[in-house]
Structure 1
Amino acid sequence: MRNAEFTDPRLVEVYDAECPWGRDDDYFVSVVGETLAARVLDLGCGTGRLALGLAAAGHTVTGVDPARASLEAARAKPGADRISWLEGSVEVLPAGAYDVAVMTSHVAQFLVDDEQWHRALTALRRALVDGGRLVFDSRDPADRRWERWNRVDSRRRLVLSGGRQVEVWTETTDVHDGVVRFTRQYRFPDVELLGDVVLRFRTERELRGSLDGAGFRVERIHGGWNREPVGQGDGEFLVVATAV
């Protein structure tokens, strides 16, 4: 199943166990915090980890995600009543409603097709006020992260609620023209599950060009969660752009 970690309730729990609060969340809270008491859109909010953190920091937050299982998990968490949760994607965004929009956990890379990516950026520009900011992460293809997605390097064991354990690993299956396909495998004591994922690795030039074409001006791009230059740090493009 495509993107099963977001749509299958069994794997949504695995996702939460695998992805606790980290340096990436600290980075996004810091950048969003440059706009005081912001109205924030978290597009692709998943199970709500960052949305909840942003609300706790004093922002007014809307979390949007197309995966119902992920949203149900988000709504069940403490503090979830402070956030507006919407099921869907860019089609549900009102115009001029937000000061800051974020896409985290490499949501931008799930928008594989160029037309799909352009539609998303255009919708985000419409949803932001003039001068509003878009903040997102996308892996730098020069880091060739997919080469480390293999059974040996990616294998890990996670402990779920009640002490249940699951073994998880990732295997790249195809790389072509910036599009990487891989599988995520989950071995529970009683069942094995499989999820397929497709990501687009855009170059810095491609990101800058697409943002410019959708009505954004790039403020800065960092290469790591400590705001290192591109090519240093964590193999990331951490993009901050302004709606013009």
Structure 2
Amino acid sequence: MWHGEYRDPRLVEVYDAEHIWGWEDDFFMRVLADRTAPRVLDLGCGTGRLAIAVAEAGHEVTAVDPARASLDAARRRPGAARVRWIEGSFETLPPRSFDAALMTGHVSELLVTDEEWAGALRALRECLVTDGRLILDSRDPAAQPWERWTRESTERSIVLADGSAVQAWTESAKAGPGETYSVVHHYLFPEGLELTSTAVHRFRDEDQLRESLRAAGFRVDELYGGWSREPAGLSGDGELIVIAVAEPRMAS
């Protein structure tokens, strides 16, 4: 199934059980607190863990995701009424409506083609006020994350809310030019049912991120390689975490 963790209610439950609050969530909360940002967009919000926390911190939050099953799960969370939930993608963003935009959980990697990526960045620039911030994460291709996505190194047990356990593992294969890989997540349920979720990821390096953001009207303000704000390439986290600022629009 394509992006099954977001679209199949059974896999959404597994996703939520595995992806609990972590240091990356703490990082994004701290970055938001660095500057005043009354209105925040969470693009690719998934099941809403971060969006609700941001709203509970006092921000006006709009959370956007194309997957209905994920949004259904998000709306059932405690505190969900504080958030405006929208089923859609970057094409649906209202202009000049946000002071900060989040694109977390490596959502940027799922915008595979140059056209998709450029379109998303342009839409994000248009939805932000001048000097608004875009905060995103992507895995650093220099760390070759796909090398670790084998059954042997990723097999794990995920305990669901009812106490049952799902066995899971991840595998990857080259899928296209550059650092583009097909990633397949396997989930084996106690009754013997196996479901899979497939997605193609594009891993852009620091230069590609900087240039694409510049072309879309952003200035990269900070770029880190880890969740403790280590420089790129000097962290075991293997991340490229970008804080970019929306430049003034050119007069037409």
Counterpart pick for 2:217 among 215, 218, 228? 215
Q: CA offset at residue 173 of structure 1? A: 2.2
Shift of 1:89: 0.3
Unpaired runs of 5+ residues, structure 1, are none
d(CA) in 1 for partners of 2:3, 2:57:
30
Q: What residue number does 2:168 align with?
A: 168
Q: By how many angstroms is 1:35 displaced?
A: 2.4
Q: Which residue of 1 aligns with 2:187?
A: 186
- More off after superposition, 183-192 vs 166-175: 166-175
Alpha-carbon deviations, 1:110-168, whole Å to 9, x = none?
A: 00000000000000000000110000000000000111100011111011021111001
| 1:236 aligned residue | 239
Paired AA for residue 214 in structure 2: D
Higher alpha-carbon deviation: 166-175 or 88-97 = 166-175
Is the 1:129–1:243 Cα contact (8 Å) retained in structure 2? yes
CA contact (8 A) 2:125 2:246 kept: yes
The two structures, once aligned, show a CA RMSD in angstroms of 0.9
In the aligned structure 1, how far is the partner of 2:49 from the partner of 2:167? Answer: 22
Q: 2-side partners of 1:155 and 1:50: how far apart? A: 26
Deviation of residue 36 (structure 1)?
2.7
In the alignment, the residues of structure 2 paired with residue 142 and residue 94 of structure 1 have an alpha-carbon distance, to the nearest angstrom, of 35
Tell me if the contact between 1:32 and 1:38 (Cα under 8 Å) persists in the aligned partners.
no
User: 3-state DSSP class of the match of 1:36?
Assistant: coil
Which aligned segments of 4 or more residues in structure 1 are displaced greater than 4 angstroms? none
Task: Describe the superposition over 1:157-208 as per-residue Cα deviations: whole angstroms up to 9, x where unpaired.
Answer: 0110211110010011225411011210000012111111110000100000
Identity %: 55
Matched residue, 1:203? 205
Correspondence 1:37-56 to 2 at 5 A: 37-56=37-56
Q: Any idea what the Cα deviations from partners look like across 1:209-234, whole Å, max 9, x if unmatched?
A: 00000000000100000000000121
Cα pair 1:151 1:169 within 8 Å, conserved: yes
What is the TM-score of this pair, normalised by structure 2?
0.95
Kept after mapping to 1: 8 A contact 2:66/2:89: yes
TM-score (norm 1): 0.98
Say which SS state the counterpart of residue 33 (structure 1) adopts. Answer: helix
Pairs aligned (count): 244
Q: Which ranges in structure 2 are unaligned for 5 or more consecutive residues?
A: 248-252
Alpha-carbon distance between aligned partners in 2 of 1:20 and 1:119, rounded to the nearest angstrom: 30
- Contact 1:37–1:58 (8 Å) recurs in 2: no
**Preserved CA contact (<8 Å) 2:232 2:239:** yes
Determine the structure 1 residue equivalent to 2:151. Answer: 151
Specify the code of the residue in structure 1 equivalent to 2:76: A
